[in-house]
Structures are given as structure tokens and as C-alpha cells.
Structure 1
Amino acid sequence: MKSRDLIDLLLLAAIWGSSFLFMRLAAPAFGPVALAFVRVAGAALMLLPLLVWRGEWPALRAHWRLMLVLGLTNSGLPFLCFGYAALTLPAGLASIFNAATPMTTALIAWAWLGDPLSRPRALGLAIGFAGVAGLALQKSLAGGTLGGWQLDGGAALAVGACLLGTLMYGHAGNFSRRHLSGVPAMALATGTQAAAALALAVPAALTWPATPPSPAHWAMAAALALLCSALAYILYFRLIARVGPTSAATVTFLVPVFASAWGALVLGEALTLPMLLGGLVILAGTALVLGLWPRRRPAAAA
């Protein structure tokens, strides 16, 4: 993994870490369907002129049928799932469940594409999952209670929505690799957002909130569209092309770390020692999956 890919990975984790904060604050005003539509439609409107300007419109036109499938599984439905979860779950906890994405991506790649799951990579996935589980436990038991979150029917559905979203993300990463390899990242980002917007247009119109969202809520929705979707998916598809879907999906191991940091900066949430230790465990697992550690020594010349 080259340094530019590592920079893209960290930048993407920081951006997607903020998305859970924006969803948590904006979902009650818009509702999950309308918010998902605003997010993908805004991203598509930003990306389409850039795609035409770069001369990559033919790539989107040539693969539009595949883009429809990828748009649903990589954007429309996962955004709806996590928007629904944001009505119940804290932003940090939703981001922790989202960190199951590398596991679903790696397992689907192994079962569908025959991608070998080496021992270091499998160990890295296990360590990363352990770090995520530790963070989830720390958040759940903070203050000797369930942190204000009770596992009732609504919360169980929210957790199920998060895990369904990660399953779709895992499928989408491998679908892109198998059917859309070589397609420019800008075309993939634009096509997926436009396809998701078309799919969600009618449901969003039927569930549009009766009370107009405030300007502050619109600003959060705009941040989700322009920053967390348009820019983020350019980075994500570029990573898939360079390092593969499993390695690219390890960004979700880092997202809870950044989501907790954003929560501390914006909402004043405390960063505890267990959270910091859990973040270090996640980083170690990510390094193993990406092959950043341990470094292999070059073979000695004969």
C-alpha cells in the first residue's frame, strides 16, 4: 500500500466518521428515506458536471445498468438503513456496527471471487473486530448503565438495519471489483449516486416531512451529500481500484475512532482510556489486513 493510498484511507475515515454525527442530528427532521434521497441527489448534482468536464460521461453511459445495481447496494439502501438506525442508536455506536463491513467484504470476496484469506489478513480482521467489540462494550457499559440505550424491539431493528447495511456494502465492493473494474472512480461515484437518487425519488416524495426542516438541518444534509457522499465515494472507489475491496473496506475499522473524536469535539463527549485502547487495537488489525505490519524482510541474494 502506497503512502497516497494510506492518506486517502485516513481522509475517508475522517469524513465518514463525521457522517454518523450528521445523520444522528438530521434524521429526526427529514426521516430516513427523505434524508437518504437528499444525500444521494445532492451528491449526484455535484458530481455530474465534474464528470462531463473530465470527459468521462461515456463510461457512465456504457455501464448504466450495472450502476443501477451498485447504486442501490452501495448508497441508496445502506444510507436508508443507517438513517433509520440514527433515529435510535447513538452516532458512535452506529459507526461501530458499521465496522463489520470488512468482515462481510472479505467473506463475500472469499466465497464469490475466490479471494484468498491469508492467515495475517484473517488475524487482522479478527483483531479489528475485537477492537470494535471492545468499543461497543465500553460504550454500552459507560457509567454502569446501558448508556441510555436499551435493547428493546426498536433498538434491535436499528442494529439489524446497521448489519444489513454492512452486508450490502460488502456486496457492493466486490460487485464493483468483478463487474466494473477499470471504470474511472468519478464515473462510479456519479453513477451510484444518480442511480440511488432515481430509486429513492418516489419513496422520498411519499414520506417527505410535513414540517419543513430547519436551515441547520439542511446544512447537515448538504454536508452528507457533498462531503460524505460525493467526495468520499471518489476516494473509496479509487481505493478499491488500487488496493482491492477488502483492504479498502478496512476504512470502517477506523471510522469509529474518528466518529468518537468528532463526538468529543462537537458534542463534548468524553474520550476515555478504554476508547483509546480500543482504537489502538483497531489500528493494529487494520495494519495487518493492509500488509503494513509486520514488514517482511527481502530475501537475501544467493
Structure 2
Amino acid sequence: MPVHMSDSVRGGPRNGVGLGLALGSAVAFGGSGVAAKPLIEAGLDPLHVVWLRVAGAALVMLPLAVRHRALVRRCPGLLAGFGLFAVAGVQACYFAAISRIPVGVALLVEYLAPALVLGWVRFVQRRPVTRAAAFGVVLAVGGLACVVEVWSGLGFDALGLLLALGAACCQVGYFVLADRGGDAGDAAPDPLGVIAYGLLVGAVVLTAVARPWDMDWSLLAGSVPMDGTPVVAGLLLAWIVLVATVLAYVSGVLSVRRLSPQVAGVVACLEAVIATVLAWVLLGEHLSTPQIIGGGVVLAGALVAQSSAPARGSSEPVAGGGPERELSGRSTAA
């Protein structure tokens, strides 16, 4: 979940570099579920896979945490919210969901987060939202109905869908907590520092919950089947930690520093498309035509909801709760 630095559009060659980084980040995030699912199906508990991902990434990012240790005093609430919700909550729910439903479906359900943020703003905070944002919510909900095929009585595992929805709610919970704990007068914290400490907090929480000492570590020493093809488990884990987490977060932050939040948000929506295509090719998970169309509608609705917010501090109606103007709404699970 990279941090938005400003609302101005950068120009020149930086845009090309930024787009490349944003696309790379979307590919990296999109491959997390595809790499994790074979490990889960081989016998690892989803919580153990999440712990391996978060703890491994936290170890890699530890030097950044030391460098930005002043953040612990400046914004402890923000760090706690990021670690508890955007890291531990989102990823635990997402990995548990993909153990029961297709990767693409889980990620598309998670993309309801921008719509849920708007619901919080409108009905809990009682603040107005733009018509475009409300239209985006309607699009997202309608698209989700196609993704889960409501006309067939929810053919997917109901618990899997609830877990995916839980991942979306965790993103909303993080935004709400950050909004309450933030001070508009403070300088924006360094996004890489927030990510580093979020991973550390998430690792501590997940250690208590997942109990990794009970994990069957021997599974990581062998191979696991990926749609019938044996793949070294250690390579899948390395991809999840180094590429789908560390590289994905860092490249996402660097891309937003070169692009406007709106442009970065457009590219971020490709994450769900990439995850669906990778799951189709590598895992043999096929979506029906109505589900593919519905997925496109979900992403369109999420994009409208994210991009229709005015600049922070504007007197216009808002399209989001506040902190999502600094912290991108991209999925932190994928």
C-alpha cells in the first residue's frame, strides 16, 4: 500500500519510469496469491504462509525501520494501523480466502475496499460524497454480483467469500484508524518507513496468532505441485517474500513519487487482472464470461471511486475517508 506523495502530475521521462515501476509493482503483487496457493494446497496452513511472507519481508526491511525509527514517536497509531490491518489482517484474510475460492475472485472482492470507505464516509461520518464516487460504488457492487454469480445462489464457498470481504474491511479499518490518529498539520511520514514498521508489527501479531513453531517446515524443503507441475517450494516462498512483498511495495512507492495518485491508481487496478490471468495460466483457474465482465466492472467502479476525490482540504464533497489520499488503495494482500 504505497503512500501518495502529492496530487500533481509529474512530467517528462519520470512518467515513463514511474509507469514502468507501477506496472512492475502490479505484476509483483498480482503474483502473490498464485505462488502461495500451491504451498497452501500442499499442506501449509494459510496463516503460516502469511507469517512466512510478512516475517521474511520484515527482516529484509529491518534496516529501513532502524533508519526511520523516529516514526515510532511521531505516528505510533499509523504504524499500528498499518501493521494490524493493512498487513496482518488483509493478508491473513486474503490467503485464507484463496485456500477456498479462486485467486481472481478473492482479489476482486477485496477491490470493494474503496466502495466500503465511501460507505463509512457517507453513513458513519455523515460527510457528502461526489456523485461520481457514488456511481463508482454502484458499479463495484454490481460487478461483484456478476463475479460471485448471485443468480446461481453463490456457487463459491461462502466462507471464502466472507474472508475476501474481511480483507477489504481490514483495508477500510486501517484507513479509518489512520484518519483518526493523523494530524493534517504534520508532514507526511516516509512511506518506506511506514511499510517497514507495518511489516514488523504484522510479524509480531502473526507470530502470536499463527504459532509458526507448529508449522511443518519439511514442506519447504521439497517440491509442491502447481497445476500438476512440480515446483520447488523454496522458490515459491522466495518469490512471495522478495518479489511479491518487498519489491512490490518499494516499486509501488517509487512509482507514486513519479506519477499522480490517479495515474498510479489506474495501473494498480491491473493487479487484479494480472492475478486472474496468472491464476488461469499457472493454476488452471478459469473464470466464466459473466465473471470476467463483472471483474472489469468492479475495477471500473473502484477506479472511479478512488479517482473522483478532490484535493485534500478542499471544501468539495469527498470520495474517500481522508488517509487514502496519502495511502494508495491498492490491495495489500496480493
1:127 is aligned to 139
| Post-superposition offset of 1:261 | 1.4
2-side partners of 1:9 and 1:116: how far apart? 31
2:162 is aligned to 160
Aligned CA distance change for structure 1 residues 212 and 89 (closer, same or farther; 3 Å)? same
1-side partners of 2:144 and 2:271: how far apart? 10
| Post-superposition offset of 1:179 | 2.9
Give TM-score scaled by structure 1 length. 0.74
1:19 is aligned to 32
Aligned CA distance change for structure 1 residues 134 and 9 (closer, same or farther; 3 Å)? farther
Match of 1:118 among 127, 130, 137: 130
2-side partners of 1:31 and 1:212: how far apart? 11
Residue 96 in structure 1 maps to residue 108 in structure 2: yes
2:276 is aligned to 260
Deviates more, 1:101-110 or 1:67-76: 101-110
Residue 224 in structure 1 maps to residue 237 in structure 2: no
**Amino acid corresponding to residue 77 of structure 1 in structure 2:** G
2:193 is aligned to 187
2-side partners of 1:123 and 1:163: how far apart? 20
After TM superposition, the structure 1 = structure 2 runs for residues 1-302 of structure 1, keeping only pairs within 5 Å, are: 2=9, 10-28=23-41, 29-52=43-66, 55-60=67-72, 62-64=74-76, 66-111=78-123, 116-137=128-149, 155-180=157-182, 182-202=188-208, 203-209=210-216, 211-214=218-221, 216-234=232-250, 243=261, 254-267=270-283, 274=290, 277-291=293-307
2-side partners of 1:59 and 1:128: how far apart? 35
1-side partners of 2:267 and 2:142: how far apart? 16
| Post-superposition offset of 1:84 | 1.9
1-side partners of 2:253 and 2:46: how far apart? 25
1-side partners of 2:28 and 2:251: how far apart? 10
2-side partners of 1:235 and 1:173: how far apart? 21
2-side partners of 1:210 and 1:30: how far apart? 9
**Secondary structure, aligned partner of 2:129:** coil
Q: Is the 8 A contact 2:86 2:170 kept in 1?
A: yes
2-side partners of 1:35 and 1:63: how far apart? 29
Identity of aligned residues (%): 22
2:331 is aligned to none
**Secondary structure, aligned partner of 1:187:** helix
Could you list the per-position Cα deviations for residues 208-248 of structure 1 after superposition, in whole angstroms to 9, with x for gaps in the alignment?
126432452232233222233333344667869x749xx98
| Post-superposition offset of 1:8 | 6.2
Structure 1: which 4+ aligned runs deviate by more than 6 Å? Answer: 5-8, 247-252
2-side partners of 1:12 and 1:172: how far apart? 21
**Amino acid corresponding to residue 156 of structure 1 in structure 2:** A
**Amino acid corresponding to residue 113 of structure 2 in structure 1:** T
**Secondary structure, aligned partner of 2:148:** helix
Aligned CA distance change for structure 1 residues 86 and 209 (closer, same or farther; 3 Å)? farther
| Post-superposition offset of 1:249 | 7.9
Aligned length: 278
**Secondary structure, aligned partner of 2:149:** helix
2-side partners of 1:23 and 1:115: how far apart? 39
Deviates more, 1:247-256 or 1:15-24: 247-256
| Post-superposition offset of 1:257 | 1.9
Aligned CA distance change for structure 1 residues 224 and 104 (closer, same or farther; 3 Å)? farther
The structure with more helix, counted as a fraction of residues: 1
Could you list the per-position Cα deviations for residues 233-276 of structure 1 after superposition, in whole angstroms to 9, with x for gaps in the alignment?
44667869x749xx988888544322221123323555765455
Q: Is the 8 A contact 2:265 2:307 kept in 1?
A: no
Aligned CA distance change for structure 1 residues 36 and 178 (closer, same or farther; 3 Å)? same
**Secondary structure, aligned partner of 2:211:** helix
Q: Is the 8 A contact 1:81 1:161 kept in 2?
A: yes
Please give the root-mean-square deviation of Cα atoms over the aligned residues, in Å. Answer: 3.8
**Runs of 5+ unmatched residues, structure 2:** 1-6, 223-231, 309-334
1:299 is aligned to none
| Post-superposition offset of 1:65 | 5.4
